Amino acid sequence: MSNSIIVKKRIKDFNKKIIVSGDKSISIRWLLFASLANGVSQAQNLLMSEDVLATIKAINKLGIKTSLKNNKYNVYGKGINGYKLKKNLTINAQNSGTLGRLILGLLINTPHPIKLIGDNSLSKRDFKRISDPLSKFGSKFKLKNKKNLPLILKGSSNLKPIKYLENKGSAQIKSSIIFGGMRADGITYIKAKKSRTHTELLCKYLNLPIKVKSKKNYDFIEVKKVKNIKTLNYKIPSDISSSAFFIVLTALSKNSSLLIKNVNINPSRVGIITILKKMGVKIVFKNKKIYKGEWNADIFVKSSKKLKSINCPTKLNSGAIDEFLVIFLVAAKAKGTSYFKDLAELNQKESPRLKWGARILNSIGIKTITTNNSIKIFGNPDLKINKKIIIKDYLKDHRVFMTSVIAALSFEGKSVWNIHNKDSIQTSFPNFLKIIEDLKK
């Protein structure tokens, strides 16, 4: 029970400036690129969450030293072929799909079999989506139930480039293939449904041999074998996926406003902003600037009295993929019926999130209709919750926990929420609860 939290009181009347933790996608990618660079790379504001710590442990296991000095993280890269690929190596990706999937692309040349394991949630997730493309390069995979972890990867020293259609809009699949392509002789071609672009932007910033042509729904990517990666000092911006909880909290709370400093607003990540603006939330970007190829800005958001329902255009899905649970809370308070479709990927996350989104809403009296890839939410602008709500057994999905806390803090009425597994925030946003305490002061 000590690992659960009780929330009884709404939060309102705050006008504050906050800084949320570093971006998880960029932190993990920076570590992986730095581990292959020739020399020492340094990062400021690296996210210190379990997914990122698992990445550090993984590169340490591969013989790459790291250190934290004066709040700066150092990675002592040993070059593109600098990993120590010992016999009987096991990498533990813990809860991190991004680590587990991306690192496999970098290991397809391993001379000895490598085992990849993960926690209970990651072990339920699909790794066939990665072993399918990566085996086309010439590496071999053995997966539990042909789909899951643990898996064993046996690499090849004779990797052939591939042509691949990535049709799920998954940045993890796309990035894993880009990494694979960096190890194969010749040109790898990827036609990828739009998804977050951090890997490509880092490749471009590092002058790696990559070309990207952006068309309407797809990106066409060409990658050549990489011989050298230069070191990269990086100041990691804040994570829009973590900011999302506070954007929604502010939008739903009375008489409040919030400025969130220096958040990554890569156009492939800002789906939540477009969606919430369409629903009537007032959000403005301030101090927009480009840093090392990535757009960053301060995000200003205000309480929003009149919220409208949305028939969410599917082209916004991939740019908001980690934010739908909190977006559903806004739909709960909006006037009218909101419809989110073509979202089968949401059930491929740390927990089946369409199901969990519906469960949270149903527990507060909001009617939903879900299929395996869509949800209709019947909003109620007069929503008041006057009961006890327990949220548990959700595979410790960090975003289910944080969404539940935001729901508990924002809706009117006399509710008492008992939300289990508060440790789940360690996955992506360890100071989530601390920021809430600061908002209450």
Active-site entry in 119, 219, 322, 397: 322
Find the shortest distance in angstroms from Cβ 39 to ligand S3P. 25
- 132: annotated active-site residue: no
Backbone phi, then psi, for 283, in 5-degree steps?
-135, 135
Phi and psi of 222, rounded to 5°? -120, 130
Least distance between ligand S3P and beta carbon 148 (Å): 15
Contact track, ligand S3P, 158-177, x by CB under 6 A: ------------xxx--x--
| Token pair recorded at residue 84 | 């120590």
User: Which of 104, 307 has the CB closer to ligand S3P?
Assistant: 104
Residues 328-357 contacting ligand S3P, CB under 6 A: 345
Output 138 or 237, the one with its CB closest to ligand S3P: 237
Q: Are the beta carbons of 10 and 411 closer than 8 angstroms?
A: yes
Alpha carbon 21 to its chain centroid, in Å, reads 13
Of 42 and 175, which has the nearer Cβ to ligand S3P? Answer: 175
**b vs e for 268-299, b when ≥16 Cβ sit within 10 Å of the residue's Cβ?**
bbbbbbbbbeebbbebeeeeeeeebebbbbbb
Q: Where are the alpha helices (DSSP H) in 182-335?
A: 198-205, 240-252, 271-278, 324-333
321 binds ligand S3P (CB under 6 A): yes
| Three-point CA angle 143, 148, 154, nearest 5° | 30
Nearer to ligand S3P, 66 or 427 (CB): 427
Tell me whether strands 388-391 and 375-378 are parallel, antiparallel or unpaired. unpaired
Residue 27 or 253 with smaller CB distance to ligand S3P = 27
From the list 208, 199, 178, the residue with the least C-alpha distance to 30 is 199
Q: Is 401 exposed, middle or buried (0-12, 13-18, 19+ CB in 10 A)?
A: buried
Q: Where are the alpha helices (DSSP H) in 300-397?
A: 324-333, 353-363
Residues 6+ apart with CB under 8 A from 110: 85, 89, 139, 153, 154, 155
Q: How many residues does the chain have?
A: 441
Interface residue with ligand S3P among 25, 41, 404, 421 (CB under 6 A) is 25
* In the complex, least distance from residue 23 CB atom to ligand S3P, rounded to whole angstroms: 9
For residue 108, the minimal CB distance to ligand S3P (Å) is 18
- Among residues 126 and 298, whose Cβ is nearest to ligand S3P? 126
Provide the minimum distance between the beta carbon of 195 and ligand S3P in the complex, in angstroms, as a whole number: 6
One symbol per residue from 76 to 105: x for binding ligand S3P (CB under 6 A), - otherwise; what is it?
---------------------xx-------
Calpha distance 187→184 (Å, rounded): 8
Which CB, 219 or 345, lies closer to ligand S3P?
345
Task: Identify whether the C-beta of residue 26 lies closer than 8 Å to the C-beta of residue 34.
Answer: no
> In the complex, what is the shortest distance from the CB of residue 112 to ligand S3P, in angstroms, rounded to a whole number?
27
φ/ψ of residue 416, rounded to 5: -125, 120
- Find the binder of ligand S3P among 78, 196, 376, 420 (CB under 6 A): 196
Residue 322, interface with ligand S3P (CB under 6 A)?
yes
Closer to ligand S3P at the Cβ: 172 or 253? 172
317 forms part of the interface with ligand S3P (CB under 6 A): no
Nearest to 107 by CA among 153, 57, 39, 58: 153
**In the complex, least distance from residue 88 CB atom to ligand S3P, rounded to whole angstroms:** 29
String marking each residue 123-162 x if it binds ligand S3P according to CB under 6 A? ----------------------------------------
Instruction: Count the site residues for ligand S3P by CB under 6 A.
Output: 12
Give the closest residue to 291 by CA, choosing from 319, 264, 258, 256: 264
Beta carbons of 46 and 70 less than 8 angstroms apart = no
**Distance of closest approach, residue 171 Cβ to ligand S3P, in angstroms:** 4
Structure tokens at 202: 């880092």
Catalog residues that contact ligand S3P under the rule CB under 6 A. 25, 97-98, 170-172, 175, 195-196, 321-322, 345
Residues taking part in catalysis: 322
